[in-house]
C-alpha cells in the first residue's frame, strides 16, 4: 500500500493516505519513496543467527571450480583473528576428474597457518599439516582428508570464539537480514555465551533487527545456566527450545510407519511425551512464556501434541504459547487437534522447495499429502508462522512468500502437492502479524496501525497484486526498525 507514516519514539503516530508512494516522517528525518509500497516488517520466526554469522565469516568454496581455485579463494580471504583459515562448501564432484584435494597443495600455500575446509555435506574436511599438528594428529604421510568423527580433534583445536568474534558474526547475519526486509528474528537454540554479545549490541543501539531468543533447553541447559525469561526492546529472552525427533534427510524424523526407502527404521525419538511434558512444565513454572519443540515426523508431531494436551490442563499452561517447529508431516487426525489445543505450526516454505524429491523417497506415495501442510492447517483453524531456518536455507523472505503461493520445488515447473498452496495475503501474514503471534508480540507488531512499533519494509512493488515470480524479484528499498532506518538499497 501507499501511505505516509509518522513515527514518534519508535512507534507509529499517524498513518495518512499518500498518492505518490511511501513517505516516512520521524522526529528528525523525512524519507520519500515515490512509487514504493510499505508493509509491516518481515519476521523470520525460526532461524539461527550465529550459524549464519559463521557461514558468512568462513570462506565459501561452494562455487570453486578446482583445487587451485579453492587455494586462491583461501589465500584471498586470509586468516581469521584466531589465526585459522576456515572454509566450507568444496565439492570435488564439480572439479576436473572429480579428483579429491591433496594435503600437498595446501601445505605449499600455507606452511604455517592452520587451514580447515569442510566439504559441502559437512561429512569430510580438508586440512593442512599445520592444522593436523594443532589437533595433535601425526601429519607424516597423512592425506589431509578427515571423515566424520575423525574431524573432531580439529574442531577441538580451533580456538573458541571471543565476544568480539561473536559480535561480528551477529552483526554480519542480522545486517544481511535487514537487507531482506526482516525486522525481527526468532533465534533458535541460543547458547548461553552468545547472550552477552547480543545484549551489548542491543545496548549500543547497533543491532539492526529485533531478536526473540529461544534458549537451548533440550538437556536443561537454561536451568543449569540459571537463565530466566527477560523483556527487552531489541533482545528478548522469549522461550525454550526442545527436539522431539531428528530430520527427514538423515531418516531421523520419527514416523508412525517405517521409512518407504528403508523399512528397517521409523526414525528417532529424542524425547518421550513424559519428558517433554515435564521439561516444558518446568519452564512454564519458571515463567517462560513460549515453548518451542522441533517435530518433523508425524509420530513426533503426535507426541508433542500429547505433551501439549497435558500442558493445557495445568493451571499455568492454559495460555502459554505452544509452538511446533517445522511440523512437516501432520497426520490427518492431528490437524483438528492442533487447532483445538491452540498449538502454532512454525513452518519453513523453503524447506519444502528443497526437500520435495527427498520427501517422496522417504515417505512414499500414501502419506505424501500430509507433508508440508499449509492450506489444510489454515482451513482447520491452526495458526501458522513462517521462517527460513537459515543458514540451512536462505533468509530471503520474498522467496519464501513466492514458495508459499507457488510451491514449485527447486528445478521444477509444477506445483508439488499444490492443494497446500496458500494465498499471497496469507503468505504475507505468515511472515508478519501471524509470526509475531508466535511470540505473543502481535498486540504491538505486525500491523500498520497507530500505536504499533514502527517496524516496516519499503518495497518497489505491491506484493498483493504481483505474481509469485514478480514477488521473488521485488527489491527491498529500505527497512525501518523502531522508526530508525536500518537498511537502504
Ligand atoms: Zn532450526
Separation of CA 96 and ligand 1 centre (Å):
35
State the distance between the two ends of the chain, measured CA to CA, in whole angstroms: 19
Separation of CA 187 and ligand 1 centre (Å):
9
The three three-digit cell numbers of residue 62, written as one number: 561452494
Separation of CA 160 and ligand 1 centre (Å):
22
Separation of CA 381 and ligand 1 centre (Å):
25
Separation of CA 287 and ligand 1 centre (Å):
23
Separation of CA 352 and ligand 1 centre (Å):
14
Beta bridge pairs of residue 126: 117, 145
The highest-level CATH class for domain 83-157 is alpha beta
Separation of CA 465 and ligand 1 centre (Å):
32
Separation of CA 48 and ligand 1 centre (Å):
6
Separation of CA 53 and ligand 1 centre (Å):
14
Separation of CA 104 and ligand 1 centre (Å):
37
In terms of pTM, does the model score above 0.75? Answer: yes
Separation of CA 239 and ligand 1 centre (Å):
14
**Which residue ranges does the chain devote to CATH 3.20.20.140?**
163-448
Separation of CA 70 and ligand 1 centre (Å):
29
Residue spans of beta strands (DSSP E) within 414-475: 456-459
Separation of CA 97 and ligand 1 centre (Å):
36
Three-class SS state of 343: strand
Separation of CA 399 and ligand 1 centre (Å):
18
Distance (Å, whole) CA 115 – CA 317: 50
The three three-digit cell numbers of residue 423, written as one number: 494465498
Separation of CA 391 and ligand 1 centre (Å):
9
CATH of 163-448, one of 3.20.20.140, 3.40.640.10, 3.30.70.250, 3.20.20.70: 3.20.20.140
Separation of CA 189 and ligand 1 centre (Å):
8
Q: List per-residue pLDDT tens for the chain, 489 residues long.
A: 999 999 999 999 999 999 999 999 999 999 999 999 999 999 999 999 999 998 888 899 999 999 999 999 999 999 988 899 999 999 998 899 889 999 999 999 999 999 999 998 888 899 999 999 999 999 999 999 998 889 999 999 999 888 998 999 999 999 999 999 999 999 999 999 999 999 999 999 999 999 999 999 999 999 999 899 999 999 999 999 999 999 998 899 999 999 999 999 999 999 999 999 999 999 999 999 999 999 999 999 999 999 999 999 999 999 999 999 999 999 999 999 999 999 999 999 999 998 999 999 999 999 999 999 999 999 999 999 999 999 989 999 999 999 999 999 988 889 999 999 999 999 999 999 999 999 999 999 999 999 999 999 999 999 999 999 999 999 999 999 999 999 999
Separation of CA 394 and ligand 1 centre (Å):
12
Separation of CA 47 and ligand 1 centre (Å):
6
Separation of CA 252 and ligand 1 centre (Å):
14
Three-class SS state of 203: helix
Amino acid at each position: 500500500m501507499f501511505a505516509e507514516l509518522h513515527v514518534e519514539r519508535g512507534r507509529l503516530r499517524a498513518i495518512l493516505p499518500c498518492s505518490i508512494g511511501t513517505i516516512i516522517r520521524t522526529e528528525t528525518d523525512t524519507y520519500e519513496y515515490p512509487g514504493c509500497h510499505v508493509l509491516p516488517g518481515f519476521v523470520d520466526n525460526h532461524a539461527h543467527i550465529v550459524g549464519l554469522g559463521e557461514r558468512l565469516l568462513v570462506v565459501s568454496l561452494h562455487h570453486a571450480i578446482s583445487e587451485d581455485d579453492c587455494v586462491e579463494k583461501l589465500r584471498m580471504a586470509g586468516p581469521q583473528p584466531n589465526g585459522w583459515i576456515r572454509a566450507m562448501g568444496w565439492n570435488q564432484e564439480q572439479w576436473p576428474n572429480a579428483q579429491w584435494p591433496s594435503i600437498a597443495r595446501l601445505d605449499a600455500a600455507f606452511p604455517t597457518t592452520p587451514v580447515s575446509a569442510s566439504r559441502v555435506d559437512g561429512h569430510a574436511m580438508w586440512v593442512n599439516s599445520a592444522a593436523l599438528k594443532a589437533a595433535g594428529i601425526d601429519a607424516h604421510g597423512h592425506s589431509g582428508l578427515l571423515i566424520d568423527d575423525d574431524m573432531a580433534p580439529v574442531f577441538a583445536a580451533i580456538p573458541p570464539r571471543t565476544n568480539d568474534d561473536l559480535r561480528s558474526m551477529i552483526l554480519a547475519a542480522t545486517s544481511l537480514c535487514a537487507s531482506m526486509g526482516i525486522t525481527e528474528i526468532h533465534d533458535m537454540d541460543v547458547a548461553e555465551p552468545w547472550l552477552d554479545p547480543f545484549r551489548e549490541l542491543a545496548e549500543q543501539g547497533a543491532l539492526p533487527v529485533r531478536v526473540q531468543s529461544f534458549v537451548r533447553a533440550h538437556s536443561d541447559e537454561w536451568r543449569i545456566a540459571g537463565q530466566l525469561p527477560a523483556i527487552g526492546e531489541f533482545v528478548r529472552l522469549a522461550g525454550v527450545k526442545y527436539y522431539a525427533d531428528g530430520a527427514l534427510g538423515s531418516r531421523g524424523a520419527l514416523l508412525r510407519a517405517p521409512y518407504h526407502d528403508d523399512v528397517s527404521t521409523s526414525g528417532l525419538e529424542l524425547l518421550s511425551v513424559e519428558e517433554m511434558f515435564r521439561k516444558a512444565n518446568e519452564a512454564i513454572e519458571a515463567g517462560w512464556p513460549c515453548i518451542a519443540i522441533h517435530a518433523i515426523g508425524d509420530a513426533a508431531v503426535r507426541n508433542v501434541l500429547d505433551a501439549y494436551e497435558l500442558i493445557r490442563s495445568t493451571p499455568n499452561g492454559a495460555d502459554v504459547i505452544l509452538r511446533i517447529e517445522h511440523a512437516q508431516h501432520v497426520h490427518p487426525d492431528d490437524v483438528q487437534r492442533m487447532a483445538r489445543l491452540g498449538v502454532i505450526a512454525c513452518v519453513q516454505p523453503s524447506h519444502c522447495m528443497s526437500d520435495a524429491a527427498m520427501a517422496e523417497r522417504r515417505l512414499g506415495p500414501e502419506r505424501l499429502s500430509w507433508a508440508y501442510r499449509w492450506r489444510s492447517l489454515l482451513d482447520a483453524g491452526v495458526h501458522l508462522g513462517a521462517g527460513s531456518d537459515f543458514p540451512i536455507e536462505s533468509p530471503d523472505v520474498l522467496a519464501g512468500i513466492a514458495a508459499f503461493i507457488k510451491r514449485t520445488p527447486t528445478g521444477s515447473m509444477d506445483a508439488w502437492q499444490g492443494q497446500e498452496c496458500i494465498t499471497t495475503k496469507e503468505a504475507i501474514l505468515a511472515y508478519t502479524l501471524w509470526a509475531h503471534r508466535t511470540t505473543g508480540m502481535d498486540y504491538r507488531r505486525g500491523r500498520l496501525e497507530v500505536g504499533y512499533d514502527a517496524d516496516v519494509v519499503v518495497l518497489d512493488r505491491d506484493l498483493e497484486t504481483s505474481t509469485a515470480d514478480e514477488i521473488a524479484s521485488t527489491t527491498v528499498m529500505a527497512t525501518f526498525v523502531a522508526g530508525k532506518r536500518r537498511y537502504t538499497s
